[in-house]
Chains A and B, each alone.
Chain A
């Protein structure tokens, strides 16, 4: 049974970079899924940040794309994907979730985010 878990710093400084990693257990990050980041805040509810495939294809929320980088790491010792968000402000304070979506061949050949991590609260503050 596939499980996801977020890790990284719970605190980021304004104008700095927020970095999170999602460890995949019980399955391989090299499988044909979209590996996704979503955040939750009281102001916006759920916000889709973006997704990355094992092949390195990325799709980002247009409102965040200039600040977001996602990647997948598969080695003998790691089976994970990551998120970097640059130039953060207090508006980036949220609970960050990693999640998995089953995918097909086209962008809308998609079956929803069926597995989620427990979430990582991140605060942006000096």
Chain B
């Protein structure tokens, strides 16, 4: 089973700063990776799939990168509405599409 490890567990940033979140897969998953944003009291929101393809309507300050076992989600200039927990999800290996444990982004 593929295990997804996200780091750091939490990140405290200032508004306007660049935030870099990491996600590591225990095995090669090519680019079979998605990123989600989860705000308190809301449902998760898909941000990126295919490691780097941004979903329509997601602000351009969000970008994804990486392949194989190492992936990043970058928020180029942190806004107050970006405060959330961010999860990565792999979908490479049948039968499971596992999530990481999440990175909490705070101001």
Residues of A within 8 A of B (CB): 38, 40, 44-48, 51, 59-62, 65, 97, 99, 107-108, 110-114, 116-119
Contacts and interface: CB of A to CB of B under 8 A. Distances in A.
B43 A45 contact: no
B49 interface: yes
A62 B43 contact: no
Contact of B95 (A40, A44, A45, A60): A60
Interface string B43-70: 1111011100001000000000000000
Contact of A114 (B1, B46, B100): B46
Given A40-B38, A112-B55, 18 more contacts: A45-B99, A46-B38, A46-B99, A48-B96, A48-B99, A59-B96, A59-B97, A60-B95, A62-B1, A62-B95, A99-B44, A108-B92, A108-B93, A112-B34, A112-B36, A112-B46, A113-B34, A118-B43
